[in-house]
Amino acid sequence: MNKILAVILLTLIITFSHLYLTNFIYPQTYLGKLPVAGLTQKQVRQQITAVEKIKLLLKDRVYEYPISKLGVIVESDKTLKDLFAPQSVLTFVRSLFLTRTVKPTLIFSQDFYHFTLSTVFDLSKQPESLSIDQINKTIIYQNPQQYKIDTESLKSLITENYGTKNILKPQVYKLENDLKKNIHIQNQKLAAAFQKPLKIVIQKAGELQTLTITPAELKNLMLIDYLSADNLLDVQVSSSVFTDFYQKNALLLAQDRDKKVSASQLKADVLSAFTTRLQGASTDTVLAKIDYVPNSEGNLAPKYLEIDISQQKMYLFANGQFISRHNISTGLYYPTPTGQFKILNKALNAYSDLYHVWMPFWMAFYYGPKLNAYFGIHELPYWVAGDGQKIQRPREFLGSPHTGGCVALDIGAARQVYDFVEVGTPVYVFD
């Protein structure tokens, strides 16, 4: 009886062992990181084919993607074959003491590579911004924190964690855009340009005198902007700061009331020197020349004439820019009126009944009730002698008062001024 029971028990053990060895996964067996010990083929197949989504942790953000969108396909038959082979008593006994890990067989299609290579993750905590620090004269760029997933890292994590609910944390790499590189280079140029002082050398009374603009003063003078689309620095001189600088050094920049360093020219020269530095040249000096300068800076009207009686000079301005300067002769026998006027009429040649002379390129700007006559701008006048000879006032009169109140210009210069103005053009006369 006991022998019969023993035989039955042994038969049951053998039968159970055979069934277990052939139908169940051995102890301490993992599919990647997924424990599958004791599961049947059907159970494992259901588990690995039931995977629908994968969660990714990038920095501090979690993204969830359907497995189909990632282009990952599991070969369940090949995976099950690897899990169940070889199945023997020896491997079963070994599994009681040693862990066995089987990697699932996965296919990573072109969709997977397209996902990793083309998908950009914007992990910025602040929006992209570009601004100018006008104190330190630097371009400040808050670039977007954009990343891509490392392809091999994600493949490895999916393979290891397939079928689990683990959140995967693949390696990422940051994308560097060209704008950030360009701004870095421009900031280096600005730092180099502001590093050294700029010297203004002034020719004054036969001597050279020096005025130094320190790096701090230079930063205060310059206004910068950055045109990102063209990768260009737009640099200007601050008009208000430059005016303060010029007035502060007015004595050094002038010889007398009429002769001084032109403020507009000096401003342009400082800008030119600085932009030359930005181009990589080591420009340390600006040469400033003292000369006759106008009373205005081209800001009195869109287009106008300026006449300075003390200098015996005329200046032409248009659109805020200095156009030209001419020697003149103003009133000696009757003073040229001062103030603000405008061109009243024009004629290619006009005759003065008062002085009996012809006045080419006539431009009237004032009517004098005392003389009952117009005052105008014209070429050096001439008269015709009895023999028909044309006699013109000498050109040596230019540069000093010699007229009856009009403003005389040199031959050629009067035609230029005549073509420049039209009726209504403002005329400013300074004493």
Catalytic residues: 378, 406
Which residue is listed with tokens 């009517």? 367
- Supply the Cα-derived Rg of the chain in whole angstroms: 46
Query: Would strands 198-204 and 285-292 be described as parallel, antiparallel, or unpaired?
Result: parallel
Q: CA end-to-end span of the chain, whole Å? A: 146
**Among the listed residues 293, 310, 258, the one whose alpha carbon sits nearest the alpha carbon of residue 430:** 310
CA distance 76 to 391: 116
Q: What angle do CA 34, 35, 41 make, to 5 degrees?
A: 95
Return the exposure string of 361-386: e unless at least 16 CB atoms fall within 10 Å of the residue's CB, then b. bbbbbbeeeeeebbbbbbbbbbeeee
H-assigned helices in 96-177: 110-118, 151-161
From residue 403, how far is each of 52, 312, 329 by CA, in Å?
A: 102, 12, 7
Alpha helices in 41-120 (DSSP H): 41-49, 67-70, 76-84, 89-95, 110-118
Tell me which amino acid residue 73 is: I
Where in 103-230 does DSSP place strands (E)?
106-108, 121-122, 129-133, 138-142, 146-149, 172-174, 198-204, 207-213, 222-227
Greatest alpha-carbon pair distance for the chain in Å reads 171
For the record, the structure tokens of 66 come out as 């359907």
Which tokens sit at 60? 């501090």
- What angle, 0 to 180 degrees and rounded to 10, lies between the N-to-C axes of helices 76-84 and 41-49? 140
> For residues 238 and 391, what is the distance between their CA atoms, to the nearest angstrom?
52
Distance between CA atoms of residues 260 and 243, nearest Å: 15
